[in-house]
Amino acid sequence: MSVQTQAKLRHEPIKERIASRILNTKQELLAGGIGDEIRDLLEQRGVLVFPKIDFTDEEQIAFTKTLGTFAPEHQGDPEEVSPITTDPKIAGHTANYLKGSLYWHIDGTSSEVPILGSLLSCRKPAPKGTGNTGFSNTYAAYDALPQEEKDRIDGLTVRHGPWATLFYYDPEPSAAMLKQMQAIGDRELPLVWTHRSGRKSLVIGNTAHTVLGMDVMESSLLLNELRDWATREEFTYSHEWSVGDLVMWDNTGTMHRAEDYDHNSGRLMVRTKLEGEEPFA
């Protein structure tokens, strides 16, 4: 009997409302027979951790394909892993753009259909005690809101734009840089995403800049209040990286951020992504 027919998904919770640790072997994961179970668990838990699984680039690509459709980093790119680092010696001119990843965000708020999920492997961690990746379960955060708060925010629309992330790490960007970022565009997205499953999640983060129908002060306060709520201890998990770890997260119901570290440390991750399957609604 093959590994594929024998394998069962083995996992344990890391925290009550977010994150589980996967205990299967590399061989079992690559066989593909538990891909659907992993997908189901990901939607329930938001974050899955595969400690020291030590995937090669080729194995990470193969594993990603067991879970759905591989999403290239850029349209037309070949199927390959993408290096993720803010080290200017490695990332070059993209290092500054990636500094926005140090603040809570959801990937793909500029897209009609955001990516389903990301898979991140550690090639070189930052010095111990720095460079963790934080995650926030925005399904769980919405579920735990008082009913009166749910009633207040359901139906609201928020404008999102990558340009808004600039002001998190550069309070006085040049007009040329701001214009370049604003050229990417803005999108109007629901503050509360009602998924096809019927579950609801918050669509917030550092690309969110304006709640339609509110004045500037009221809008900013609401977005900050919801971010503070969603990033409380009970809804968040901070992963301390070791070489060979792989972490995947549900991008449709999870915010994430890289926690600060020395950008000259050589911290290096590689990423693959799963193509989106559901538009914001």
Instruction: Yes or no: say if 123 and 243 are a contact pair by the CB < 8 Å rule.
Output: yes
Parallel/antiparallel/unpaired status of strands 117-124 and 246-250: antiparallel
Domains and their CATH numbers in the chain: 3-274 (3.60.130.10)
Q: Which of 11, 102, 61, 48 is nearest to 254 (CA)?
A: 48
Quote the tokens at residue 1.
């009997």
Task: Please identify which residue in the block is written with the tokens 């594929």.
Answer: 4
Phi, psi of 220 (to 5 degrees): -60, -40
Tokens of 137: 């379960």
Distance CA 119, CA 29 (A): 14
> Cα(261)–Cα(241) distance, rounded to whole angstroms?
12
d(C-alpha 82, C-alpha 86), whole Å: 13
Phi, psi of 269 (to 5 degrees): -120, 160
Half-sphere exposure of 163 (CA within 13 A, CB side): 19
Whole-structure pTM over 0.75, yes or no? yes
Instruction: Give the burial string for 116-147 (b: 16+ CB within 10 Å, else e).
Output: bbbbbbbbebbeeebbbbbbbbbbbbbebbee
Report the chain's terminal Cα–Cα distance, integer Å: 44
Mean pLDDT by 10 residues, the chain (281 residues): 67 98 98 97 98 98 98 84 82 71 95 96 95 98 98 98 94 95 95 97 98 97 98 98 98 96 91 97 87
